[in-house]
Amino acid sequence: MEKNPDDLAAHLLHATANDHPDAHLPAGLRTPLHPEVVDRPDEEKIAAISKHFRAIMLELGLDLDDDSLAGTPHRVAKMFVQEWFKGLNPAHRPEVRLFENRYQYQQLLVERDITVFSACEHHFVPIVGKAHVAYLPGQHVVGLSKLNRVVQYYARRPQVQERLTRQIAEHLRLSLGTPDVAVYIEADHLCVMSRGVNDTSSSTITSDYSGKFLEDNQLRNEFLRQIGK
């Protein structure tokens, strides 16, 4: 039985300010958030982060009066709030628009090579990679760009790749109203490449298969073939 794709939209519509922004996801998949800070306006967050980052730069011994460095605390704060971590703000959660599947397209649909820019939550350095997502349409098809937008929404947070993969898969299952979803992410972690073990050649692969992708090896292999694996 297909779940009504309006369920997620209805839930989000009725979510109150006190709800966790990931309240639609199972508890273990929610990004750990501090309840009092989530609702602060962007301008307040940028001002506070800017102040703290300035202190970090001073501790490093940098001259904040230098004309090239003077604006850096504000630049970094703006980048964190409005770009790198914009997925922490539920105002940026994409609306997943569905269309009636009048043409009865029922084969595999793959959106491949979706750019992933994220950040490792342990070291706050970039995770860069590609996501490949697929689903089997039922009564509805999704506007293609919404698949990219869902990936980007969850990527633009401090992350671990496993949770990112599972959040995307769960969100797609809910919003598409089908369990037949596959998510595959391959990414380079700057925390592994540029420090610690300093390994510039290893990369990390994660995947999430559900519904027919779990039951049907042929379908899963076709997905993997289509993404060049």
Active site residues: 120-123, 161, 189, 191
Query: 71-130: which residues touch ligand GTP (CB under 6 A)?
Result: 120, 122
Complex with ligand GTP: residue 50 or 165, whichever CB lies closer = 165
**Residue 20 C-beta-side C-alpha neighbours within 13 Å:** 13
Binding residue (CB under 6 A) for ligand GTP from 161, 165, 167, 210: 161
Alpha carbon distance 141, 109 (integer Å): 9
Q: Does 188 bind Zn ion (CB under 5 A)?
A: no
Q: Does 120 bind Zn ion (CB under 5 A)?
A: yes
Q: Is 191 annotated as a binding residue?
A: yes
CB-count burial class (<10 Å; 0-12, 13-18, 19+) for 32: exposed
User: Please, which residues have CB within 8 angstroms of residue 177's CB and are 6 or more apart in sequence?
Assistant: 2, 3, 4, 5, 7, 98, 138, 139, 140
The string of DSSP letters for 15-30 reads --TTS-TTTTS-GGGS
Complex with ligand GTP: residue 45 or 132, whichever CB lies closer = 132
Query: 196-215: which residues touch ligand GTP (CB under 6 A)?
Result: 196-197
Contact region with Zn ion (CB under 5 A), list: 48-56, 76-84, 120-128, 206-214: 120-128
Interaction site with ligand GTP (CB under 6 A): 120, 122, 160-162, 189, 191-192, 196-197
